[in-house]
Structure 1
Amino acid sequence: MPRPPRGAILAVLAAAQFTVMLATSIVNVALPQIRAGVGLSDSATTWVVNAYGLAFGALLLAGGRAADLLGRRRVLLAGLGVFGSASAAAALAASPGVLIAVRAVQGAGAAAVAPAALALALGLHPPGPARSRALAVWGAVSGAGGAAGVVLGGVLTRAWGWPWIFHAVAIGSFAVLTATAACVPAAARTERARFDLIGTAVSALALTALVWGVASARRAGWTDPAVLAAFAAAAVLVVAFLRIERSAAVPLVPPRLFAAREVAVGNLLTALFGSVWIALFFFLPLYQQQVLGEDPLTTGLGQLPLAAANMLGASLAPALVRRVGSRTALLAALLTEATGMLWLSRIGAHGSFFTDVLGPSALVGLGLSVAFVQLTGLSVAAVTGPDAGLAGGLVNTTRQVGGAVGLAVLATVAGTVTSHAAGHQPPLEALTAGYRTAFALGAAILAGTAALAALLVRRTPADGPAHAPAPQPAASGRP
């Protein structure tokens, strides 16, 4: 059977990434209906979101390393199977405990899918213009998946009820699984290295403690004893992980991964970038529903301009890099997104979608997509083939953990501002004041990220690739 065209394989892998990002945001606008349908308490409702994000963030490193050691195609197929099955189970869940548990399993499946799919895509495209175009596709589907989740969540919830948001993800997952099995070729079997089980377990526990702590801080406060205990446990586990890695024969995170400066710089900037990206898809739908009074369907449709701008920006990213260089493109993208967030900080309690949301969300979408492409390219630029899965897991981990921390901080700040304003302003005015502050702080974080990028990212020629030149990945013997 002839090998499918490289473009077809990339389309299948991009569809896997799209499905993961879709599942990340599709529940947001349906939470009130899910709460009523399953009988969730206030705290349990937040864990419908947190359980997925916690398992996803905690297991991404393990998923990336498993892809490198066990075979990327094999891990991708297994992850899609777990992801799709858990999605189907979520649609049938009739109790809070079951729903939260299967959301965690869904996150675990996503943690295998995302790094394996990215590693396969990197293996198809060596550093240079081809990889720049592939990462542009990756950026387009990632941003579009997040926005499409809000759109589809609103449409399905209104048409057929909340279980269909999970049915849709399950159907998409199994469709991608079938296409992967048919289109993505298997590689020859090679000798397998040992998997660092102890390091994997400790890293997963450390990330779990960290993400649980910041997620709980949104509700209980940063000084709550349980939150402080979680942070202390995360710190102890990180120290233990570093000690384990120094003595491990085959460490989960090999030191050679950070031999290139770009990997560390790219992941640092990605964490800051992710802290605002995740928060955007949290606060914007809340403003549209709670302040503007839009229903889930209208809120979902309101994400279409952002999604369109995101796809446009990703498609223009390679040409922009060829014209001005990757460093300048990254700085321009971060400042464009910061400008859009600053514009959103001017929203009004009696505004409208067209006057308060449309323009800034399109500006944010343009900047977000170009920045995503450049930061992902920077984070994997100098990583050789055998570590591509781990590099994909690492950049996804930093974005996810950065997003969890950023959302917790911004939600705490917004809630504090709203509480203080509630004493002397009408409820909608107080709520809007909190959202304005969150958007303004997000703009400041992005501006700071741009300043840091100006200091740390090396200048590249205008006709260069979307990242610093790096050797072509060596053949790993695995898809």
Structure 2
Amino acid sequence: MSQFSSRQRNALAIILASYLLILLDTSIVITGLPEIQASLGFSQVGLSWVQNAYTLAFGSLLLLGARAGDLFGRKNVFMWAIACFALASFVIGLTQSTSLMIAARAAQGASAAVLAPATLSLLSTYFSEGEERVRALSLYGATAGIGATLGLVLGGMFAGWLSWRVGFFVNIPVCVVLFFAARFLLEESEPESGKLDVMGAIYSTFGMACLIYGIIEGGELGWQQTIPWGFLGVALLSLMIFVANEARHQAPLMPLRLFSDFERTSAYLARMTFVGAMVSFFFFSTQFMQHVLNYSPVEAGLGFVPMTAFTFISAMWVPKVTRIIGNKWVVMGAFALLILGLWLLSHLNTGAEYFADLLLPMMIIGLGNGAALGPLTVSGVKGVAAKDAGAASGVVNTAHQLGGTIGLSVLVVIFASAKDPSLDPTSAWAGQISVGYLGCVVMLVVGLLILLASALNSNMRQRKMASV
């Protein structure tokens, strides 16, 4: 970070710490769910809403949360979001009630829906487009890789050795530090003139809520039921009305001009396939290490450490490699590495050993993971006017959230349908997980084809401009 000014270093430290806070909180909960169920007496269905309430609030409010920073000032909105996140964490840490737990998790998700795009829009504000922003986003990408794995390890440690409540209480001092750091070190952005797109906010929030709820219910009830499809139909209608509203509104929640650039739109779609595959990778790998290799939650978390290390190494090399071959080739190379690593994992069986069979794929996936997120984010906010930075950050985060939710839901259905009742439980798990990994491969191949189409379109456009 020595190449940045002191102003930029202060801002980047706050941005990365805030992003890490969100990532840690999400993954810490996963490993703490069994202890939360035992402590509060959740039913199996009720327990799923500890995560679903967060996901629903987070995904449905992202676009509104992103635009709030543009309209009311990014520093101001960031501070409010941090304060609300801390309060929700405090309530969760103390609660003895299942209903209050779910409500507070929803409040956490709503706070994160404002905080996540605020961090990315602040990064776009402090770092100009080009190499400077690429360097900052490489650190942002490295934080993403580290946060997901560190959360799994810490969650297992807190739940197994201390209490699941510790994982929420530790948020509070971190939030206090971030609040005052933002208060004294960040500069306020110039609020955009215009009124909040109220109808757009209603349609988008309702539509996204129905979409995510429909996906969640489809995964839990099964896609043969009518309830998930009913919610998805309502979501489609609401989001169509939302798009029509955005086309007419003078200060839209999601300016449709963000999708006028093919490279940006391709980055959003490719990001969805990337996140869908990576969230599923963490899910299937955790299942494999715990159910097939018989690892404890802490051991399973530690199994991701090599991947995390290579994610960090790769992310640090992204700026240098980007200067040599360009952003689009870096991200396509990253997808190729991810496809290779997940294809290798798809050959795992009950005789697998970590060092012989998992270590190399984990390292390859780490290289691809570290090289993908930063360049995808660069493409997602490339060429965006300052007044639309918040909205663009919201679209990036919405693509991120939807990719993970949809991708995992689809692959879990495929995973469940691949069960062979003639096999013993361990062999059946291994076979299902292998099919799940192949699903990740297919998802990434689709993403790579989207990126290739974007690259070819860019080359054709450059040739036309050169010939004029």
Specify whether residues 356 and 50 from structure 1 end up closer, same or farther in structure 2 by C-alpha distance, changes over 3 A only. farther
Q: 1:433 aligns with which of 431, 434, 440?
A: 431
Matched letter for residue 204 of structure 2: S
Matched letter for residue 137 of structure 2: L
Specify whether residues 306 and 175 from structure 1 end up closer, same or farther in structure 2 by C-alpha distance, changes over 3 A only. farther
Q: Is the counterpart of residue 399 in structure 1 residue 400 in structure 2?
A: yes
Report the counterpart of residue 120 of structure 1 in structure 2.
122
Asked if 2 retains the 8 angstrom alpha-carbon contact of 1:40 and 1:96, the reply is yes
Matched letter for residue 457 of structure 1: A
Q: Distance in 2 between matches of 1:49 and 1:390?
A: 26
Report the counterpart of residue 87 of structure 2 in structure 1.
85
Shift of 1:459: 8.2
Asked if 1 retains the 8 angstrom alpha-carbon contact of 2:350 and 2:427, the reply is yes
Q: 1:447 aligns with which of 445, 448, 456?
A: 445
Q: Distance in 2 between matches of 1:48 and 1:388?
A: 32
Q: Distance in 2 between matches of 1:354 and 1:211?
A: 38
Deviations 1:110-161 (A, max 9, x none): 0111111111111111111101101101101112111111111112112211
The 5 A counterparts of 1:26-425 are: 26-187=28-189, 192-418=193-419, 421=420, 423-425=421-423
Identity of aligned residues (%): 31
Matched letter for residue 449 of structure 1: G
Shift of 1:177: 2.1
Q: Distance in 2 between matches of 1:25 and 1:458?
A: 37
Specify whether residues 427 and 349 from structure 1 end up closer, same or farther in structure 2 by C-alpha distance, changes over 3 A only. same
Whichever structure has more helix as a proportion of its residues is 2
Unaligned runs of 5+ in 1: 462-479
Paired positions, count: 455
Matched letter for residue 142 of structure 2: A
Unaligned runs of 5+ in 2: 460-468
TM-score (norm 2): 0.93
Matched letter for residue 440 of structure 1: L
Asked if 1 retains the 8 angstrom alpha-carbon contact of 2:266 and 2:450, the reply is no
Deviations 1:374-411 (A, max 9, x none): 11100100101111111111101011111101000011
Report the counterpart of residue 464 of structure 1 in structure 2.
none
Shift of 1:68: 0.7
Asked if 2 retains the 8 angstrom alpha-carbon contact of 1:203 and 1:241, the reply is yes
Asked if 2 retains the 8 angstrom alpha-carbon contact of 1:70 and 1:192, the reply is no
Query: What is the root-mean-square deviation in Å for CA atoms of aligned residues?
Result: 1.7
Deviations 1:399-450 (A, max 9, x none): 11111010000111111112xx1x2100011111111111111012112211
The 5 A counterparts of 1:9-28 are: 9-28=11-30
Higher deviation after alignment, 92-101 or 409-418: 92-101
Q: Distance in 1 between matches of 2:70 and 2:24?
A: 25
Query: Match of 1:222, SS?
Result: coil
